[in-house]
Chain A
Amino acid sequence: MGIFLVAPLVIWLVATIAYPIFSLIRLSFLDVGVIGTGGEFVGLDNYQRVLNSRAFWPSMGRSVVWVLGNGLLQTVLAFVAALVLNLPFRGRALARTWVILPWIVPAVVAVIVWKWMLGTSGGVVNMILLRLGLIQEQVGFFSTGNTAMASLVGINSWRFFPLLTIIILAGMQGIPKDRYDAAGVDGASAWQRFINITIPGLKPVLFVMGLVGTLWSVNIFDVIYLVTGGGPSRATLTMPVLIYDMAFLQYRLGRAAAAAVLMAVAVTIFTVAFIYFLAPGSEEEDEEWG
């Protein structure tokens, strides 16, 4: 019986994920520009053109910078937030619910508010920094390549760290309390408890977070596209934006498909390596499924 109940979802996902992946690979070998045109088999031509294009490798590099920047900033923010929200205080349940808010609003809303707060005419961040004397003149957060990339990493991290906070909090709930009690008896400091109990206890959670977080952030399109469109002068043109541009602005579907396949290969290599080198033991999971 069970299998019949799972079947509708499985069929749905085969039609909308498995089949499209197959057709993406097929498309990458065809000469297709605008949809419905061409369709001749051109072998590896699309791949050669993508690999030899000026935009491809820099975009791959930017995607790596993007993933590392987001990973670092979000991990720090999420750990700070989780440790704070794990303290006893009045209204804790409420705070733990609402911390997720940035994650559930549309990217376009985050973009509107941050673009405006970081702006140079009436931007509140510039005003605060000026009044505090931290800067002498307004900073153009989106006007140079490096500041634009950093600002985007900041905006995207603001959106995603709440989810990681919840995941870390969940992991903290799973650590047996008596471990902390025992450490308290031994006179361990808060920092020692964090390093010796919390971090090891969070290992399985951190593993999932590192893997899924990377796959999610490499894939981010909306925030980047809506804030900078990949600019200024391509400084924030990551792989998803490049693929989108190729397919829907330059109308080169076949070539964009090849770029997408190449990105998928890179992501798959990362995933396999990540699991191979970092996967914690899986005894617990087997136990749970009986």
Chain B
Amino acid sequence: MNEGKRGRAVRYLLVILVMFFIIAPFYWIYSSSLKVSTEIVAQSPTLFPESITFGHYANLLSSSDYPIYLTNSAIVSFATMVITVVLSTSAAYGLYRLPFPGRKTIYRLILLAYIFPGSLLLIPLYVMLSRLNLLDTQLALVIINVTFAAPFSVWLLKAFFASIPFELEEAASLDGASWLQTLLLVVLPLASPGVASVAIFAFITSWTEYMFASVLIISDANRTLPVGLAGIIGQYVIDWGLLLAGAGATTLPIILLFVLIGRFFVNGLLEGGVKA
């Protein structure tokens, strides 16, 4: 396994190229959002801002509806996250730890639910939610987002549950613990990276959802970030500074979440991928 300095250099060069392709657009969002408007639309773009301004961010927060969209997105995403975590951990515990007849079929049906195209469900869900008088409510978005986040979450939890020894649960039940106590006090703490992964996945699913939000929400006061931002793109004259600041500010919470628990999330995907 001896390789020369050249091999090493090539290896690092390849890694840098791959990561550049991933990261460069984000650098471009943030560095440009700090430029003054004339520099942003200059015919030959500058790699670094010539002078740094936070004016676009100030604009975003003071003279656009961005704060409203942000609040709405936060509420919808948080509610989606909580409901998804409860539904999917309880389902995963039932499926993977408490054998019952037909569970394999149910597992497959849940997976099938995940691949169901959203554009197929858009029309009937729109009709259903309008019959229930839920159009233009945040509840409607929460219902939809849980539907799209929960099935994948159940799959993601499989690997985490599989790594917990059954003996621990047996010991707990010998000590007289109920299934709920066993789940909450023994299993969930051990599966906490999995639960964190599910939480982050549900949050992100909701934070990024566009299609349903664009149809189900009618009033500006209930709009979420993706649809709100898209509204700025659609304007006749695009204020790129504002738009880039909006894109940067919308991405920031995801990056922060990822700094904290991204590791568990990707590990969960890697583990799940092996077991699937």
Contact = CB atoms under 8 A, between A and B. Distances in A.
A101 B258 CA distance: 9
28 contacts: A2-B93, A3-B100, A6-B103, A9-B150, A17-B147, A24-B120, A24-B121, A24-B124, A97-B263, A100-B265, A106-B251, A108-B226, A109-B247, A112-B29, A112-B229, A113-B29, A117-B28, A122-B41, A122-B42, A158-B25, A163-B269, A166-B269, A170-B272, A170-B274, A174-B274, A225-B211, A240-B119, A260-B120
Interface of A: 1-6, 8-10, 12-13, 16-17, 19-21, 23-24, 27, 35-36, 80-81, 84-85, 87-89, 93, 95-102, 104-117, 121-124, 127, 158, 162-163, 166-167, 169-171, 173-174, 205, 208, 211-212, 215-216, 218-219, 221-222, 225-226, 239-240, 243-244, 247-248, 253, 256-257, 260, 263-264, 267, 288-289
A2 B266 contact: no
Nearest to B12: A89
Contacts of A19: 124, 128
A112 B244 contact: yes
A238 to B, nearest CB: 10
Contacts, number: 278
B91 A8 contact: yes
A289 B103 CA distance: 10
B29 A95 contact: no
A89 B21 CA distance: 18
B26 interface: yes
Interface of B: 11-12, 14-15, 17-19, 21-23, 25-26, 28-29, 32, 40-45, 87-88, 90-91, 93-95, 97-100, 102-104, 106, 109-110, 113, 115-128, 130, 143-144, 146-147, 150-151, 154, 179, 204, 207-208, 210-211, 215, 225-226, 229-230, 233, 240, 243-244, 246-247, 250-251, 254-255, 258, 262-263, 265-266, 269-276
A184 to B, nearest CB: 9
Nearest to B200: A104
Nearest to B255: A101
